[in-house]
Amino acid sequence: MDQIAATHRNGGQIEPLLRLVTDRLDAPMGMVTLHGGESRPPHILAALNMPDSLRAAITSSIDDDLGAQRNDNGIEWPRAALCDGTGLARLSFSCRTAPSHAIVLTACRAGQDPNGWDENLRTQLSDWVDPFLALLCQAEREAAQRELLARAIDRCDFGLVLLDSDSVPWFTNARAQRLLDAGDGIRRAGHAISASDFDDAVRLQTAIRHDNGSGDRFRVLLLHRARARPLIAVVTSLGSPPDLFSEPTLALYMIDPDRESRAMVDALCRAHGLTATEAALAAHLAEGATVEDAASRMHIQTQTARAYLKQVFAKTGTHRQAELVRSILSGLVHIG
């Protein structure tokens, strides 16, 4: 049954550690768990030779220990214990990251003596397992933060690709991924990315390779598409990270002019206090319609539309149609 089930981001580091510790302790079973206090269920990061029911029992036992205070000697962990109803003794190594948060590595073996583990071996293992767990916990936290950052970027109305000077991407948000999958305007070229049109591809590579890495300039390109208006692409340097071996990172922003933005326009109009009719007029204008075209689409007279437009100007603090459209569009997407 020798299997490890991983439900986490850093299995490449956790699994070898779990196997090494269980082998040294001559324990056929083990697990690594992440605990977040009473209000949050623990996460099983990795488990070795343990069925689900056994995982649940041991995790509950660990939670009980985490809720207890330090013992009389002031020693935190490793802690040995029996797991009720399992016939197993466990030895747990823990790294607390907060009063109620911890990452725990537990080894299990059959037996009714929780103190039957070799004391010298326990101490030796603790000296390097504890720091390793601290590093793993930090890695989990940073991975979670990166995941949240990616989600935040995906809420924005543009595609974003972070890439090196060879056009190889190392981060792509969901909107950019959809554009790459479509392969119209922007596409994959082996491990790198390129424009679909040959001339656009040359201009894109020139913009990427000739960037000075200072992070104080950008280039705007149009990436032509066969089935839609060109993508608007912005290439800018983010500068070099504080890493001796890292190259400058470039950001490629992509805006699809054919994207559906009405929902965001409506939300922005509501924020300005526009009525439904005023918001509809503003949305038509933002999409490129004239006042006459907007009036026709809304089935109202042009003079009525102009009266609504004056109200829109007053509520948005604008004075001309171009200024209104610029205000709306800048509220939807801003790169700078």
The verdict on 228 and 104 lying in the same domain is no
Per-residue exposure over 124-133, b if at least 16 CB sit within 10 Å of its own CB, e if not? ebeeebbebb
Three-state DSSP at 264 gives helix
The verdict on 274 and 240 lying in the same domain is no
Q: What's the CATH code of the domain at 276? A: 1.10.10.10
- Residue corresponding to tokens 């950052």: 149
The whole domain housing 166 covers 156-255
Q: What's the CATH code of the domain at 74? A: 3.30.450.40
Q: How many structural domains compose the chain?
A: 3
The verdict on 192 and 105 lying in the same domain is no
The verdict on 283 and 164 lying in the same domain is no
Ordered per-residue pLDDT tens for the chain, 336 residues: 455 454 455 556 788 999 999 999 999 999 998 887 667 788 888 999 988 888 888 888 888 777 764 443 434 556 777 766 677 888 888 887 766 678 899 999 887 777 788 888 888 888 888 888 888 888 878 888 888 988 888 877 789 999 887 788 989 999 899 999 999 999 999 999 999 999 999 999 998 887 655 555 788 899 999 988 899 899 988 876 665 456 668 899 998 888 766 677 777 788 889 998 998 898 888 878 899 999 999 999 999 999 999 999 999 999 998 888 888 777 665 444
The verdict on 140 and 27 lying in the same domain is yes
Quote the CA–CA distance of 283 and 299 in Å, as a whole number.
Answer: 15
Answer yes or no: are the C-beta atoms of 83 and 58 closer than 8 Å: yes
Cis peptide before 78 (omega within 30 of 0): yes
The verdict on 132 and 21 lying in the same domain is yes
Answer yes or no: are the C-beta atoms of 187 and 195 closer than 8 Å: yes
Q: What is the pTM of this model?
A: 0.62
The verdict on 127 and 237 lying in the same domain is no
The verdict on 54 and 81 lying in the same domain is yes
